Structure 1
Amino acid sequence: MWDRLLTDCHVATMVPAPGNPLGLLKNAAIGIDGGRIVRVGKRAELAGFRYKEVTALGGAWVTPGLVDCHTHLVFAGTRAHEHALRRSGASYEAIAKAGGGIVSTVAATRAASEAELVAQSRRRLHALMAGGVTTLEVKSGYGLDTATELKLLRATRALGEGEPVRLVPTLLAAHALEPGADREATVAMICEAMIPAVARAGLATSVDAFCETIAFSPAEVERVFTAARANGLPVRLHAEQLSNQKGAALAAKYKALSADHLEHLDAAGAKAMAAAGTVAVLLPGAFYALQESRKPPVDLLRAAGVPIAIATDCNPGTAPLLNPQLAMNMAATLFGLTPEEALAGMTVSGARALGLAHEVGTIAPGKAADLCAWGIENLDELAYWIGLPGPDRRLFAGRDA
């Protein structure tokens, strides 16, 4: 006997079939037991099974729970004043070089206790959950020293306890250099102290870095990646956001789960990502907030066969974005993704970017029963409405949440 049957619905399984790339099922039903999907099919096909509870969804469209695969959710303070500076014409690079940007958040984060970090971050988490997010990556990176990075990752773990959401912690080891810091000593500290300490504590599932002229060079990132792999942690990379540092090809060399931003990606980088199975994570919220003009080369990614994910990039400076539907709308409106690509970007491709395609991102037997039921007429509405409030019903592990 199953725990639950969802019926009177249409389903986007996100499992492609010939002529049906989103795996759509009309007049469908979903069987759930033990927090997992046991069967999905036409309503008539599931009529003969026994279940403890039946929930009629009133003709709603059901999708996998949304996967926000790139956020910097846990931090202290805000950088709202930088919004005003940018409106006055200051660039991201100029603000960073003047002591603003990432390092200003570092100061506030170091001063906050672990409990304060959890309390400040919980409101942001709840906003994303209300939008339909059931799996959420959370990067550290606002510590710049081992003790504070560990504090951020512990706060991430504490934040997820008791919440109906799956948090995926990432050590953003090489995020920024403190003013006056010695580059060699910083990279050595990351490789020899920070990454091993996080690995020993089991606080992160991957290691990230920022490869850019205002951050870390490809050679420095390669040292970080080597250390991550030596400590059993896969990697991902902020790449090609402000310039082409050949970061995407470097990420592919290390079989990175994802390369993110990619506005300055070239053909060689796209080809390398495709060969390595590295997912492209596009972040339209940062593109919008920074008023960038160079878009990521979506046609190049399509032609190379690189999976495209979408994420909010929720962070205090360059993407204060708390609505996953708005991220999908921006991906379609600003970057030219189709509504189907935008939905895949926050479900199946987002799961792949986190190494969780075996667990979430599609509606199929054996997968976690993390689902969203949307009171919409067709799926195109998910990337059409500007800031849709969220699903009518959100399920995590098969229960309403």
Structure 2
Amino acid sequence: MTPAGFEQASNAKILIKHASELVTCAGQAPKKGASMNDLNIIPDGALLAENGIITWAGATAELPAIDETQYTVIDAGGRCVLPGFVDSHTHFVFGGYRPEEFFWRLNGTPYLEILSRGGGILSTVQATRAAAAAELKQSAAKRLAEMLSMGVTTVEGKSGYGLDCDTELRQLSVMGELNQEQPVEIVPTFLGAHAVPPDYKGKTDEYVEYIINQVLPAVTKQGIAEFCDVFCEQGVFSIDQSRKLLQAAQNLGMKAKLHADEIVALGGAELAGELKAVSADHLLQATDAGIAALAENGVVATVLPATAFCLRESYARARTMIDSGVPVALATDFNPGSCFTQSIPMVIALAAIQLKMTAAEIVTALTCNGAAAVGRQDKIGSLERGKQADIIILDYPSHLFLVYNAGMNIVDKVIKKGQVVFSKSK
């Protein structure tokens, strides 16, 4: 059931005025290199939206003549206004939890060893297969509400905790239902190649064939996923297996993403370039050649610093990527194992301190480049005429406070399609 008034409210008119900073992020998306610092900020800014779409943005002094009584009016004096955040890599639909594994890793057990023991992803697969759709939906809805409170207006969600046709379809169907029932917009991704299930142990090629011949056609027939992803990693899916699966998905009209070079420099970034994937994610071990392939082919590099933090691994070379002309996005990688956090403030702090990104680059990575990483750059990610009115209002006057107030959630209000859907003050 759609929250009461959500659809109706999206047809209303909204006026935001006197923003100390209107951070528009306007311009070509995805942004790369020096352009990632171009936020196109309007001091004392204002914005008009109607039917969920921005109709005007500029200085408050230049507002067109309107009848303000016909608008929901927000005076943003002393506060910063910027586009809604796009969390472009998550696994938020799952059953069960794995707290003990966090401490195994801290005590030195490698992630791939945990996976080989039947833990890791396979542990969550068992719990997710056993969970009814209603149970998955209830827990996922709570997680989405927490994301919304931190300014996330669009989220990418992956399947991958079924590794069989029925459960993969169930995960994706839950995302589809939630997309109609709450404000956070969900971009669904099929990740059937997340791990090799126990019944295919030692038969990875056969499992890839199963996905290609049975699961992918069922997913595309129902139209419940936009992207196909694969965990391209040593001991999981090889370069050749990943290529074969993603090409099959592309032939069925799906767009490609990759978990690439997270643990071993396998060549996933180079494959992402070869396939002209929309994004390559993780990239902790990406080589110079891999980074060059991303830049040459316009692939968005989605870096996930909270995962490196939780795994106590070295961070992706975001600074090198940006300086090499790769469009960089940031995301949480929220999942029940390697990164059980959906904290955007934590990602921002790690990006500034560990990845050496500027405050402006971080905003770009979470807005227009995040939108590009989910194929939505023409609809969201910036505050300009014709874009969706997905907006955050901060407690403070500048975007710099996102980094300065380290690790804290400073989002006061969240607006989705022109409707206030979260307000801290209330």
TM-score (ref. length: structure 1)? 0.96
Residue-by-residue CA offset, 1:33-54 (whole Å, 9 max, x unaligned): 1101000001111152334122
C-alpha deviation, 1:231, in angstroms: 0.5
Looking at structure 2, the residues matched to 231 and 47 of structure 1 have their Cα atoms a distance apart, in angstroms, of 47
C-alpha deviation, 1:55, in angstroms: 1.8
Any unmatched runs of 5+ in structure 2? Answer: 1-10, 29-33, 422-426
Counterpart for residue 281 of structure 1: 302
Counterpart for residue 342 of structure 1: 362
| Root-mean-square deviation over aligned CA pairs | 1.7
C-alpha deviation, 1:300, in angstroms: 2.5
Structure 1 residue 313 and structure 2 residue 313: aligned? no
Letter in 1 for 2:56: R
Letter in 2 for 1:327: V
Looking at structure 1, the residues matched to 256 and 397 of structure 2 have their Cα atoms a distance apart, in angstroms, of 39
Residue-by-residue CA offset, 1:258-300 (whole Å, 9 max, x unaligned): 00011111121111111211100000111001000x3212232
Counterpart for residue 18 of structure 2: 8
- Find the residue that maps to 1:295 and give its secondary structure: coil
Looking at structure 2, the residues matched to 145 and 252 of structure 1 have their Cα atoms a distance apart, in angstroms, of 29
Mean alpha-carbon deviation: is it higher for 86-95 or for 25-34?
Answer: 86-95
Looking at structure 2, the residues matched to 46 and 268 of structure 1 have their Cα atoms a distance apart, in angstroms, of 49
Residue-by-residue CA offset, 1:76-96 (whole Å, 9 max, x unaligned): 011111112122221211211
Structure 1 residue 34 and structure 2 residue 51: aligned? yes
Residue identity over aligned pairs, in percent, reads 36
CA contact under 8 A between 2:43 and 2:59: conserved in structure 1? Answer: yes
Looking at structure 1, the residues matched to 315 and 345 of structure 2 have their Cα atoms a distance apart, in angstroms, of 20
Counterpart for residue 114 of structure 1: 133
Counterpart for residue 262 of structure 1: 283
C-alpha deviation, 1:124, in angstroms: 1.2
Counterpart for residue 208 of structure 2: 187
Counterpart for residue 49 of structure 1: 66
- Find the residue that maps to 1:379 and give its secondary structure: coil
The 1:140–1:12 alpha-carbon spacing in structure 2 relative to 1, beyond 3 Å, is: same
Residue-by-residue CA offset, 1:147-205 (whole Å, 9 max, x unaligned): 11001101111222221111000001211012351212100011111111101100001
CA contact under 8 A between 1:2 and 1:31: conserved in structure 2? Answer: no
C-alpha deviation, 1:16, in angstroms: 4.9
Looking at structure 1, the residues matched to 51 and 131 of structure 2 have their Cα atoms a distance apart, in angstroms, of 39
C-alpha deviation, 1:227, in angstroms: 0.9
Looking at structure 2, the residues matched to 319 and 2 of structure 1 have their Cα atoms a distance apart, in angstroms, of 38
Q: What aligned pairs does 1:199-210 form with structure 2 within 5 A after superposition?
A: 199-210=220-231
Looking at structure 2, the residues matched to 44 and 299 of structure 1 have their Cα atoms a distance apart, in angstroms, of 38
Specify which of 224, 228, 231 is matched with residue 249 of structure 2: 228
Looking at structure 2, the residues matched to 396 and 390 of structure 1 have their Cα atoms a distance apart, in angstroms, of 18
Looking at structure 1, the residues matched to 233 and 403 of structure 2 have their Cα atoms a distance apart, in angstroms, of 31
Letter in 2 for 1:31: L
Specify which of 68, 81, 84 is matched with residue 65 of structure 1: 84
Letter in 2 for 1:122: A
- Find the residue that maps to 2:335 and give its secondary structure: coil
- Find the residue that maps to 1:286 and give its secondary structure: helix
- Find the residue that maps to 1:59 and give its secondary structure: coil
CA contact under 8 A between 2:24 and 2:40: conserved in structure 1? Answer: yes
Letter in 1 for 2:351: A
Looking at structure 1, the residues matched to 114 and 406 of structure 2 have their Cα atoms a distance apart, in angstroms, of 30
Counterpart for residue 217 of structure 1: 238
Looking at structure 2, the residues matched to 134 and 299 of structure 1 have their Cα atoms a distance apart, in angstroms, of 26
C-alpha deviation, 1:376, in angstroms: 1.1
Letter in 1 for 2:44: N
C-alpha deviation, 1:338, in angstroms: 1.3
- Find the residue that maps to 2:42 and give its secondary structure: strand
Looking at structure 1, the residues matched to 125 and 101 of structure 2 have their Cα atoms a distance apart, in angstroms, of 15
Counterpart for residue 153 of structure 1: 172
CA contact under 8 A between 2:88 and 2:371: conserved in structure 1? Answer: yes
Looking at structure 1, the residues matched to 116 and 354 of structure 2 have their Cα atoms a distance apart, in angstroms, of 28
Runs of 4+ in 1 over 4 A off after TM superposition: 16-20
- Find the residue that maps to 2:315 and give its secondary structure: coil
Counterpart for residue 170 of structure 1: 189
Counterpart for residue 391 of structure 1: 411
Looking at structure 1, the residues matched to 302 and 347 of structure 2 have their Cα atoms a distance apart, in angstroms, of 12
Any unmatched runs of 5+ in structure 1? Answer: none
Q: What aligned pairs does 1:362-377 form with structure 2 within 5 A after superposition?
A: 362-377=382-397
Looking at structure 2, the residues matched to 99 and 390 of structure 1 have their Cα atoms a distance apart, in angstroms, of 40
Counterpart for residue 251 of structure 1: 272
